[in-house]
Amino acid sequence: MGKELMLKSYLEGHSIEGYRLFGAHCVCENNEPGVRFTVWAPHAKDVFVMGDFNWWTKRKMDRIHDSVFSVFIKDVTTYQHYKYCILTPDGEEIIKADPYAFYSELRPFNSSIIYDLNQYHWKDEVWLSQRTKNFDRPMNIYEIHAGSWKRHDDGTWLNYEELAEVLIPYLKEYHFTHVELMPLNEHPFDGSWGYQPHGLFSCTSRYGTPDQFMHFVDLCHQNNIGVIMDFVPVHFV
């Protein structure tokens, strides 16, 4: 679907794939690599993007709809940090993280981080080709909180890849068909166990990068274990 159709679908309330339009996307435009930033900001007088790629100065975004702002900036790369500066009709400037960010800083910091989700090479084709909704198969689901199920001796968290190494053998030993992960959306308070999220499209950086999480899911699938993600938008902080 083209960008114009995606925007039309989103504004009409039909889209369930807004993340394909909004956020920071690594793309090439006019044969130049960079990042396309797009944000929904109703009632904003102007919107600017700022980050360590422009020394946190304000780069004005183009208004492509009454409530949507977008800009392409060349030579911006992954892992660079950014935020939006919203100019209200009253002239107040408000600095915001990207609600559609794919990666975020770990608390107490709160910048969004540019990340390209399209670089990981999946190896779970066999599992996907056999996947069903389990209506006529037994299911045995093991629910865990990734940050407290097991930790290093010094109390630090396992990253997604380390978690896969110890969790998958356990799941197979006890014949679990699925693992259900308590919320992994980015959240500010460790004690919430993933509730009170603020980054609904960011897999928390507590346990590693999005690619490391993809690797976790990939290994589960390769071992015939389905992955269920808790998603708690009603707890939005």
- Average pLDDT rounded to a whole number, residues 185-213: 94
Lowest mean pLDDT among 192-201, 204-213, 217-226: 192-201
**Does 105 lie in the same domain as 60?**
yes
Domain end call among 113, 144, 167:
113
Return the number of other C-beta atoms located less than 10 Å from residue 39's C-beta: 22
Give the structural domain span for 86.
3-113
User: Is 193:183 a contact under the CB 8 Å cutoff?
Assistant: yes
pTM flag (> 0.75): yes
Q: Is 177 exposed, middle or buried (0-12, 13-18, 19+ CB in 10 A)?
A: middle
The domain tally of the chain equals 2
- The token pair at 207 is 């346990």
In this prediction, residues 150-177 reach a mean pLDDT of 96
Final residue of a structural domain among 113, 135, 164: 113
- Same domain, yes or no: 188 and 165: yes
Shared domain for 98 and 135, answered yes or no, is: no
pLDDT (tens digit per residue) in 14-61: 888 889 999 999 999 999 999 999 999 999 999 999 999 999 999 999
The reply to whether 57 falls in a domain is yes
Residue 120 domain flag? no
Q: Is pLDDT at 201 greater than 80 in this prediction?
A: yes
| Both tokens assigned to 104 | 């975020």
**What is the rounded average pLDDT for all residues in the chain?**
94
136 shares a domain with 79: no
pLDDT computed for residue 91 by the predictor: 94
Say whether both 135 and 105 belong to one domain: no
- Does the structure show a pLDDT above 70 at 208? yes
Asked if residue 102 and residue 34 are part of one domain, the reply reads: yes
Closest CA to 188 of 236, 155, 141: 236
pLDDT interval class at 164 (50, 70, 90): very high
As a whole number, mean pLDDT of residues 150-157 equals 94
Which range is least confidently modeled, 73-82, 95-104, 191-200? 191-200
Residue 78 shares a structural domain with residue 156? no
- Read off the CATH number of the domain in which 213 is found: 3.30.750.90
53 & 91 share domain: yes
- Reference 167, options 216, 120, 132; nearest CA is 216
Could you tell me if 104 and 133 lie in one domain?
no
As a whole-number percent, the residues of the chain with pLDDT over 70 amount to 100
Confidence band of 1 (pLDDT split at 50, 70, 90): low
Least confident of 106-110, 172-176, 177-181: 106-110
